[in-house]
Amino acid sequence: MRTGVYPGTFDPITRGHMDIIRRGAKLVDRLVIGVTTNPSKSPMFALGERMEMVRREVAGIGAEVEVVSFDSLLMAFAEREGATIIVRGLRAVADFEYEFQMAGMNQQLNDRVDTVFLMADVSLQPIASRLVKEIALYGGDIAKFVSPAVAADVARRVEQIGRKGA
């Protein structure tokens, strides 16, 4: 069985993430979505909340997709899951430079796992979780960027923390 891992913070999960998940699931028999923490990011949602959000969003895909949390090196996680492929989405040249460097470092750590890059759908390329959160915090409409359920989750969180500029 061919297993792939798609890692990310998914804070929140966007339509761009879902595009990569749907297409990545077609490349492998089993796709493990690795929800992780990133010390350089300040998440809007706790790990458990993000995991539940991702599980809800991928429930209708139909392929074998699992949602697992991890707090380790990506290559250690990939090995633990039996993955031979890391799936990464690319939006722009800036993404490529960062992802190319990460793929090279990951290959040095474990050359039995390959990184596969999928270009985001053209209509979804500008979407970034960081920007979705910023738009929401300033009262903007994020409906184009996330599912209705995620938009409701974000709206509730913004209400809890207080909207900027209000």
Which amino acids are annotated catalytic?
17, 41, 91, 129
Q: For residue 134, what are the contacts with CB-CB under 8 A and spacing of at least 6?
A: none
Please report, as a single letter, which amino acid is at residue 74.
L
Find residue 119's DSSP bridge partners.
Answer: 90
**What is residue 60's DSSP assignment?**
T
Q: Nearest 10 degrees: CA dihedral of 86, 39, 16, 93? A: -80
d(CA 4, CA 24): 8
Nearest CA-CA partner of 67 in 37, 36, 32:
32
The single-letter code of the amino acid at 98 is Y
User: For 101, left (φ over 0), alpha (ψ -120 to 50), or beta?
Assistant: alpha
